[in-house]
Amino acid sequence: MIGGEDVVLPTLDLDRVVATDVCVRAIIRRWPRAVIQSGTTAEIYPRYQSVPFGEEREIMIYRDRHALESWDELESHPTNHNTMVHLLAYGDGKMTIVVDDANAEEMRLLLEEIRRAMRNTPRVSTEAPDSERRAA
């Protein structure tokens, strides 16, 4: 996303992969028709279960197909503000969430729901699996 507002949320002791998973699940519960897109390859994931969280460090989530088309055509534009969330997960301990306006009601609620979800997610092992150690 070009422009927008960076909101950096602490993920406490959730690892990067789980924190991203939790964020996506929280967002698609609010936006049940959401479209998920890779932030690095632009691949569209047809369903939540298609997302390779172990490999993705950037994910864009559009409110619906119409929002995706609008962003494709106009990029950031007043008519599509607050219809897309850009997640950046480049390290354990924090998640950067880019939104148009963090004070807009829709985004404020969404960010609060993500915070709550991360706070209440069961904590995972601190022992990284082989695949993550190799990637590090």
Which chain residues interact with another protein by CB under 8 A?
15, 17-18, 21-22, 25-26, 29-30, 32, 47-49, 51-55, 109, 113, 116-117, 120-132
Shortest Å, Cβ 7 to another protein: 18
For another protein, the closer CB: 76 or 128: 128
How many Cα atoms occupy the beta-carbon half-sphere of 127 within 13 Å? 1
For another protein, the closer CB: 76 or 106: 106
For another protein, the closer CB: 74 or 109: 109
What is the H or E stretch that residue 98 is in? strand 94-99
Say how far apart CA 98 and CA 1 lie, in whole Å: 7
What does R_g of the chain's alpha carbons equal in angstroms?
14
For another protein, the closer CB: 3 or 133: 133
Shortest Å, Cβ 55 to another protein: 6
Say how far apart CA 56 and CA 34 lie, in whole Å: 18
Shortest Å, Cβ 76 to another protein: 26
| The two structure tokens encoding residue 8 | 């950096």
Distance of CA 64 to the CA centre of its chain: 14
Shortest Å, Cβ 77 to another protein: 27
